[in-house]
Structure formats: structure tokens, C-alpha cells
Structure 1
Amino acid sequence: MPVSAQEALRITRVLEQKLDGRQKSIRVWNDFFGGRHNLAWASERFKLAFGGLFADFADNWCEVVCSAPAERLTPVGFRFGTGDEDLVPADREAQKIWQANSLDAWARVAHTEAMVKSRAFVLVWVDDPEADVPEPHITVEDATQCIVAYEPGSRRRRVAALKRFDGEDGFTYATLYLPDEIWKWRRSGSLVAAGSPVQSGLILPPGLATQWEPRGDDPEQQRIDNPLKRVPMVELRNRPRLVDDPTPEHQAVIPLQDATNKLIADMMVAAEEGAFPARWGTGIDLPKDPLTGQEIDDPELWRLSVSKMLRASNPQAKFGNFEAADLRNFVAGITMLTEHISAISRTPPTYFMGKVENVAADALTASEAGLASKCRDKTMFLGEDWEEVLRLAFLVKGDDKRGNNPLAETIWRDVEYRTEAQHIDAVLKRKALGVPWRQLMEDAGYTPTQIDRMERMLEQDADRAARALAFKTPEGDDFGDGLDDVGAEDREAGAVA
């Protein structure tokens, strides 16, 4: 149902306030993923002693924890419906839409953003509204710019969405997406200039949040109809919950990351101050200044090198050195923390090791079982979101049958890493059970486009084989050997056969 401009502005303000409330957490999560840590557990004494020496230091495991599942989540195709012959071509049409919008690459970005910021968004609209045949335009959107509102009591039915962003002309723009219409606003000043929470973690001043005005002088630029009759923005949520908000992949790892940074910083300080043996000497007569008679305490006299040696006139003089600091205690603590990070995040221990030696293949597979299981769970929820994206894309094309098909299914690449021999062996065992050829090819990791191409190749190979056999007798002799004994009509008939 259409709403008034006043009501649309009210919804915009409510969504903007909720969007502002997320910015501080998103900035922290993004900083830890990018390695911008703050040595949170360093004492004031440590900070006074070393100042900003370690300001840019980070042993960043948060990136590993977030990237490990994201790199295994790869959609390769879609199915629309089962047992309905009218919907068989949907796979190819969906693949065309997917490729036309470069989603084979941008889907990976969307998954990474969801792992880091707990959410990512996908916007579906018309590429060229003036075109005779409308084509969908699909873009991945950032969690700092977008928010989706749901019907009370539902986590699926979208009732509104907002995208807010800075323009290059000094204005801040906002677009409100409703099921029946779309409203466009702008206001003077940019988010950065206004102290946006995106940059500084501050909430926008209340006065600034109420200064939205219609975008442009033309009323048609402010409000347009939504022909899709659905909110065209889909939210990809990481680790969704029933009541609580989704969380980033590395949220539980952040305290352990702080502790790891603290131990490594302490180890570096110990390495600088006590990792090399300190020397001592007793009963040494210091040289004296011949003019003043005072002892000369010149550090250069005691700075040793390969070409220098210490000597003393006192026969009772002694020399020695202290034991160097043992850094293995720090290494043991750091190893313990990385093991905890691995266990909590279900990231394989091999991801935290610089090298892997003498590890059996079965042991490596077992160590990745937790990550593979976690990724399979993610494909269930993310698959539902991508199916909704493709439904919206078909609505843009005017295909209501596919746009409202509840039987859509996302085809994912296998989330488990296996050797080629293990993979093919599993496929051959499925073949022995009678699994159809096309399903076997999907299990082998081929995309629907590759499978279609292989089917055409098989048909061409079969056609060439049939034509070759057409010129052979059952005994294997060429028909051509006896063509001289028959008439021209028989030769022509044989050639056609």
C-alpha cells in the first residue's frame, strides 16, 4: 500500500537511527579483520615506556578466521522447480543472470563482508528501465550503508530497506525501498563531514538527521513505483539467530587476538632487552684522564666486536656474562592462544601453522571436519538468500512463475577440500550405486555451464561414432569396397545411409 511523503520520511528516520546504532560495532569488527588492533591489554607503564612503537603491530588471525569459510562458499548454479518440464531451462537462464552481473566474483565479496560485518546486502533493480526487455541489475551492498526491516515477528518478510551513502557533490543521499514504491532523499553535507559513525563511531546530531529533502526538483525523482511488489534488497546474515542479531565470524576470537598481540609485543621487548647475553666485569681499572686524573667512563671502551678484546691490569679482574632471556615461555603462551582460536572458530590448526610435516591425509581431513560442517550450515541460510535474489531477478524480467517459485535451490561447490584421487573415487562409487550422469558431474565439481557443454560434446562424439559405423559392415569391411558392383542409384542410397 502506498504511503505519504511524511510517512516515508518517518520510516527513513527510524531506519537511519538503527543503521547508526550498528556503525561502532561494524567499525571494530572491520578493524580487527584488517589488522588494525590497539594492544588493548597493554599496561599504562608499557605504553609510557614504548609509546607508539607497537601502534601498527598486529599478528592478525582474525582475517584467517573470517576468510577460511568465505573462500569455500561458492554458488555454481540454481534449480527452479522439480518435475515441471516448463522450468527445465531455468538453470541456464539463472546462470546467464548470474554471469551478466559478475556474481561469480562479487558473491565471494558478499560472503566475506558477511563474515566480517555480520551482514551483507544484495540489491536487485532494473538495469535499463527504458529497454524493451528489462534485465536485472544486481549489486552487493555494504553493511555500513544498508539496513532491512522485517515484519514484526518475522525474519523473512521484508517490509522496508534503506541505503544511505555519500555523493561526490557534497550531498548525502538515501533511498527508501518499500514493497509498492521507492522514495529518494538527499541532504547537504557528507557523512564524513558530519562526524559519521562510519568514520568516527559517533552518532549523527539529531538536527542533521531530520534535514532530508526530496532529491532533485522533479517530483518523479523523489518517488517511483516498485513494479516488483517486494522490497528489492536482500540481507545475507552470518550466524543468524532467532532473537539476537547475527554476529561476525571472529567475534569470539577478538579477545584472544588481543591476548596474542600482548604476548608477542612482550616477547619482542624481551628479545630487544634480554635475548642477547649481557656482559659484566669486576676488578677493572678504568683509564684516567692525564690532565684531571678522573676516570674515563667511555661506553665505546666496552663496546665489543670481532676486532676488540677486553684487558685489565688487575690480576684479580674477572669477566663473564648473564644468561640470555628464554623466549620459549612466550612461544608456549602464543601457541596455546592460537590453539584456542582454532578450537573456538573451528578453523583447522594447519591454517595457523607455517608448515605441515609428517601429517597423514586422513588426519588433515579430520582436522578440517569442523570447518566443513560449519560451511555446510552456512550454505543453508545463504542459499535461501541467493534464491530470493534470483527470484527478484526473474521478477524484473517479468517471469512471475520463477519469481514466485518456492522450490528454488542453490547449487554449491563442495565445501570440503579433498585430493583429486579421493574426489573421483567417491564419484565412481556413486556411479556404482546408479546415480545419474549429470548428478555425478555436479558431485565432481563441474558447474551447470560446464556440464551442458560436456553433454553437447558427448552428443557430437556419439554422432561422429554413428556416422563412422554407418560405413562399416558387421564384419568390419567398408561398404565402399563393393560399390563398383552396384549401380549409381545403389551407391547414392548407400551414401545417404
Structure 2
Amino acid sequence: MDEAVARERLEVGLAALLQQAPEWLELEKYHRGEHDLPFSPRGIGTEYADLREISKAPWLRLVTKTPVQRLRVDGIRSSRSANADEARWANVWKANGLDSRQRIVYTDAVVHGRGVFGVWPNVKDRTKPIVRPESPRGIFISPKEDDPFESDWAIKAFGAPGLKWFEANPATTAIIYDESRFVRFQRIGDEWVVTKSAVNPLRRVPFVEFSPSVDAEGRHESMIKPLIPAQKAIDVVRFDLLLAAQFAAYRQRIVTGYDPVIRDPETGEPMWQTDSQGNVRLDSQGQPIPLVSSPGRPGVDRLMVFPGADTNVFDLPESNLSNYVTVVNNLVQHLAAVSQVPPQYLLGGLANLSGEALAAAESTLAALVADMQLSFGASFEQVMNLAGIAAGDDEMPSEVIWGDGQARSFSQTVDGIQKLISIGFPVEAGLEMLPGATLEKVRRWMTMMDNEQKRVVEIAKEQSMVTTEDEPDDDPDGD
């Protein structure tokens, strides 16, 4: 890749990032619960505007977090020895804090259709390569012409640090990568200047995409984008519910044929309120404020009197808010069905369920998580291969071991494991099935079991020696 090719790719990559920026911002807003307000007529008052503001509910954030919280990598396994796997786990996974950072990539994958991990050699310690999440906002990966699932080249563009996520941040630095070289550009004024060009030590594009849904042409699809209309509908009905609760949830008193304005007995014109200096008082609209007679305030021991022969007093019934609540619940259930999130996660209502009933209620979520693990697991294999190359090793096929995030009955799980072990199933494999078990925990448990067995053997030997010493000789006289 010479400078001319790098500049051509720079132009293409920056244009692609600029094109995807509006959609990225919209999806991020909905994920964070900071999306647009529900529809309302123009010119609404402050009181209506406040209700409109609080009518938003971050349902899509919960939809995103529900499967992501079930995704957790607990270890890696390769064709090498267990000690080699432990060393790679410590130098790659633990050294880069991926226990917590892995969820950044999962969240981006669900929200934006793709998350990105970047891999690069560590000049300070070659054995511990740099593996970190990258924002898909600033990464564009161009696929090969004959294979949309293989990366041809990529651009990483970023601007000034410290800006908020919703603020525009024009790129000031851009790096172009392909399998042979990387070229770093710096924007000075309106011109991009090459500041560095060197050989790519990985011999690969250093980015790996994580996508829960990709088609045959390599296009990624956001999981929350199809849910945005449902989120908008919920917000609109919630706004209607709050309006009804504020203005129509109680009986409305109606009085007809009664004029509370005090009028001049001679002219019949309204009489106006005045201040201490005799000036007519004006309201917020600049109109004079009339004098008004009050019939009294309602109360148990109070009497309200309305003058006038044609005065009628009646009331209107309150609105039934349960109709609004029913519509909201139906919309949320629709959202749950489309997103494969169990309705009880969004609405509640389930209690004291057996293990079988709980597993059945979460079957759709379990299927979604299993599908995501399959897709993300293949991406993690590429990440670990790149990490091995960055550490100076050859490519090594490896797989990640996913933690069990499915809700299960602990007692039933333990009972099943005991039955398996009783018919010859490996103990270590059985321990891996325990909820919350990780490879590190299983290895520690196996070590503890070995130590306890050794201790039992030693105690048995000591007791055997004591018993032998206490036994009397057959010939006490020594003959």
C-alpha cells in the first residue's frame, strides 16, 4: 500500500464513516433512553411539556442489557496444554481487563449491529498484546471483493478526546491498515498529512467485528432498530396516560348560566383589579384582570351558592385509566415478543416458579443468547489468533468457553451432575456445569480436591502406623 492508495482509502473510509454517523447517533440515543419526545400538537403549555418529557421510558436499554448480561467468557481452550491456555488467558484476557470490557463490544453489537475488537503488539511487553474494544463510530472495515467476510483494509479515525458522546467530533487523525502496511494521517488545517508509514506487524487487518446478525453480503443489522417504532408507540400512549391522569382522572365539576365576573351596576362593564396606586393589574398576556366573585370552595361542611335563575351545576365522570394501562402492557408484550426478551423482564408478574417453569419462560431468551454465543465465539477465535501473532506465536486455533447465563434450579443442576459422575462422567467436566463456575474456579476446586485426598491418605497412613505400634507381640518373653 503506497501513499496514493492510502489517500484513496482515506477518502472512501471517511465518507463511509460520515454517512453512517446519523444512524449511529439515533441508535445510541434510543439505547441510552435520550431519544426524541413523543408527538404532541404545536404550542402546548409548560405543564403539557413537562408531562411529555417524563413520558419517555428506556425500554430499549433493558432489551439491550438483558441478553448482554447473559454473555460472559470464562476461559479459552486450544489444542495446546492446559498450562499454555492458562498463560494465554492471563497474558491476553486478564492483562487487558476483558472480564469487564467484553460487554462493551456485545452492547455495540446489539445496538449498532457490530462491535469491534482491536489487536496490536505491545512494545513494552511482547507477551501481553493489546486487545481493546473500539468504537464502531470510528472504524470502517472494507471487505474483500470476492469474500464479504474477509477484511481487505480498514480505517480508524478519531478526533479530540474528552467530548461527550452526542457531540460532533471531526476526525483529526486517521490510520489506514491492510495486510502489508499501515499509514497514519494527521489533519493540519484542511489537508491530511502523512506522519507515519510502516510495515503491519500482524500481517492482518487488526480489527475483528462482532455481529449478532449478518447476511450473505456481509451487511450487519442492529437488533434494536426494528424495535424503534414499538418504543415510539409506547411513549405516545404513556404521554396520553399521563395527560389523562393529570386532567381527567377525577370528576370534573361543570357550572352553566353563572357569570363570576363582577360588573358595574350602571354600565354592566367588568370591574378590574387595581394595585395600591389605582393602576389596573395585567395578567401574563397583558390583559386586564377582572374582579371575580367566588361561590366558595367545595368541602364536606361547606355550601356553594351560585346566583342566577338559569344556573345549573353538574359533573362529568372521571376517565378510566385502566384502558391506557392495558394498551401500554400490550405494546410492551409486543416489544418483548419481537425482541425475544421474556415479558416478565419488562412487566414483572411472575413469582414462585419452579425450575422447569422458569426455564420454559426464558426459552426464547436462551435461544437468542445461544445464537449470539455462536456468532461471537467465531469472532473471538479471530481475536485470539491475532493476539497470538502479536505475541510472537503462530496462529493457534482456539475457542472461548462461555459461562452459563441461563436461569436454572441449583438443586436440580447439582443432582444431575451427581448422577453423571456416579456413572463415570469426569468430575472436572461436571464441575464446569455448576452455575457461575469458571475455568479458574474449576482448576482451583480440582487442586483442593487433590490436596484433600492426599491429606486423607496421609492421615490413613499415620493411623495405620499407630495401630501397628500398639499391637502386642505374639511372644511377650521374646522367646
Q: Shorter-chain TM-score category?
A: 0.7 to 0.9
3-state DSSP of counterpart to 1:156: strand
Tell me if structure 1 keeps the 8 A contact 2:68–2:106: yes
* CA deviations over 1:123-143 (Å, ceiling 9, x no partner): 11122x255x44201110111
- Cα deviation 1:187-231 (Å, max 9, x = unaligned): 036xxxxxxxxxxxxxxxxxx5xx32123xxxxxx0122222111
Paired position in structure 2 for 1:115: 110
- Is contact 1:91-1:448 (8 Å) kept? no
1:112 Cα deviation after fit: 1.1
List runs of 5+ in structure 1 lacking aligned partners.
Answer: 190-207, 216-221, 486-497
Match in the other structure for 2:69? 71
Among residues 243, 256, 259, which one is paired with 2:217 in the alignment?
A: 243
For 1:293 and 1:308, how far apart are their aligned partners in 2? 33
Task: Write the deviation string for residues 256-299 of structure 1: whole angstroms up to 9, x where unpaired.
Answer: 11111111111212222211211124576869668768588737
Given residue 415 of structure 1, which amino acid in structure 2 is its aligned partner? G
Native 8 Å contact 2:112 2:222 kept in 1: yes
Q: CA deviation at 1:338?
A: 0.8
Determine the structure 1 residue equivalent to 2:205: 231
How many angstroms does 1:62 deviate by?
Answer: 0.7
1:320 pairs with 309, 314, 317, which one?
Answer: 314
Identical-pair percentage: 24
Aligned residue in 2 for 1:366: 360
Give distance in 2, aligned partners of 1:136 and 1:19.
Answer: 27
Partner of 2:233: 259
Q: Which amino acid aligns with 2:298?
A: L
Q: Distance in 1 between matches of 2:265 and 2:393?
A: 103
Equivalent of 2:193 in 201, 213, 233: 213
**Which stretch shifts more, 313-322 or 246-255?**
313-322
Q: 3-state SS of the aligned residue for 1:280?
A: strand
SS in 2 for 1:421: helix
Q: Give the direction of change, closer, same or farther, for the CA distance of 1:168–1:188 in structure 2 (3 Å limit).
A: farther
Correspondent of 1:165 among 122, 146, 158: 158
Q: Which residue of 1 is the match for residue 81 of structure 2?
A: 87
- How large is the Cα RMSD of the aligned pairs? 3.0
Aligned residue among 86, 95, 104 for 2:99: 104
**1:139 aligned to 2:132?**
yes
CA shift at 1:250, angstroms? 1.2
User: CA distance change for structure 1 residues 305 and 60 in 2, over 3 Å: closer, same or farther?
Assistant: farther
Match of 1:391 in 2: 385
1:309-345, Cα deviation, whole Å (9 max, x unpaired):
4135779965432101222222221111111111111
Q: Is the 8 A contact 1:162 1:174 kept in 2?
A: yes
**What does the per-residue CA deviation read over 1:335-383, in whole Å, with 9 as the maximum and x for residues that have no partner?**
1111111111111000111443465553332121001001101111101
- Matched with 2:146 is 153
Give, in whole Å, the separation in 2 of the partners of 1:56 and 1:313.
42
Further displaced range: 355-364 or 452-461: 355-364
Confirm or deny: 8 A CA contact 1:164 1:174 kept in the other structure: yes
Cα distance in structure 2, aligned partners of 1:380 and 1:239: 11
Q: Is the 8 A contact 1:77 1:94 kept in 2?
A: no
Matches within 5 A, 1:229-308: 229-243=203-217, 245-281=219-255, 298=292, 301=295, 303-304=297-298, 308=302
- Structure 2's unaligned 5+ residue stretches are 163-169, 271-289, 475-479
Tell me, in whole angstroms, the C-alpha distance in 1 between the residues paired with 2:388 and 2:429. Answer: 25
Distance 1:304 1:105 in 2: 60
TM-score, normalised to structure 1, is 0.81
Distance 1:431 1:299, change over 3 A: farther
In the alignment, the residues of structure 2 paired with residue 393 and residue 299 of structure 1 have an alpha-carbon distance, to the nearest angstrom, of: 83
Return closer, same or farther for 1:430/1:47 CA change in 2, 3 Å cut-off.
Answer: farther
Q: Distance in 2 between matches of 1:287 and 1:214?
A: 80
Matches within 5 A, 1:42-57: 42=39, 46-50=41-45, 52-53=49-50, 54-55=52-53, 57=55
Q: Matched residue of 2:222: which SS? A: coil
1:451-470 Cα offsets, whole Å, 9 max, x none, are 11112211211221121111
- In structure 2, relative to structure 1, the CA distance for the partners of 1:287 and 1:383 (3 Å cut) is closer
8 Å Cα contact 1:376/1:415 also seen in 2: no
In structure 2, do the counterparts of structure 1 residues 155 and 425 end up closer, same or farther at CA, with 3 Å as the change threshold? farther
What SS does structure 2 have at the residue aligned with 1:174? strand
Alpha-carbon distance in 1 for matches of 2:454, 2:309: 103
Q: What is the distance in 2 between the residues matched to 1:274 and 1:259?
A: 21
Q: 1:103 deviation in Å? A: 0.2
Q: Contact 1:171 / 1:186 at 8 angstroms: preserved in 2? A: no
Contact 1:471–1:479, Cα closer than 8 Å, also in 2: no
- Aligned residue among 407, 414, 419 for 2:404: 414
Deviation for aligned residue 1:150: 2.0
> What do the CA deviations read for 1:127-184 (whole angstroms, capped 9, x no partner)?
2x255x4420111011101122222232432221211111359971111222122211
Contact 2:121/2:129, CA 8 A, preserved across alignment: yes
Q: Which amino acid aligns with 2:110?
A: M
> What secondary structure does 2:201 align onto?
coil
Rounded to whole Å, the distance in 1 between the matches of 2:451 and 2:353 is: 45
CA contact (8 A) 2:114 2:211 kept: yes
Confirm or deny: 8 A CA contact 2:245 2:321 kept in the other structure: yes
Q: CA deviation at 1:12?
A: 2.1
Change (3 A) 1:168 1:409: closer
TM-fit CA distance, 1:409: 1.4
**Would the alpha carbon gap of residues 433 and 478 (structure 1) be closer, same or farther in structure 2, given more than 3 Å must change?**
closer
- What is the distance in 2 between the residues matched to 1:358 and 1:436? 34
- Structure 1: distance between partners of 2:351 and 2:294: 47
In structure 2, the residue corresponding to 1:90 is in which secondary structure?
Answer: helix
Distance 1:384 1:459, change over 3 A: same
Q: What per-residue deviation string (whole Å, max 9, x for no partner) do you get for residues 51-88 of structure 1?
A: 7442464112111111111110111111112xxxx533
Closer, same or farther: CA 140–280 of 1 in aligned 2, 3 Å: same
Q: Distance in 1 between matches of 2:209 and 2:184?
A: 20
Look up the match of 2:425. Answer: 435
Looking at structure 2, the residues matched to 11 and 142 of structure 1 have their Cα atoms a distance apart, in angstroms, of 19
Q: Does 1:4 align with 2:7?
A: no
Q: Alpha-carbon deviation of 1:9?
A: 1.7
Contact kept in structure 1, 2:377 and 2:400, CA below 8 Å? yes
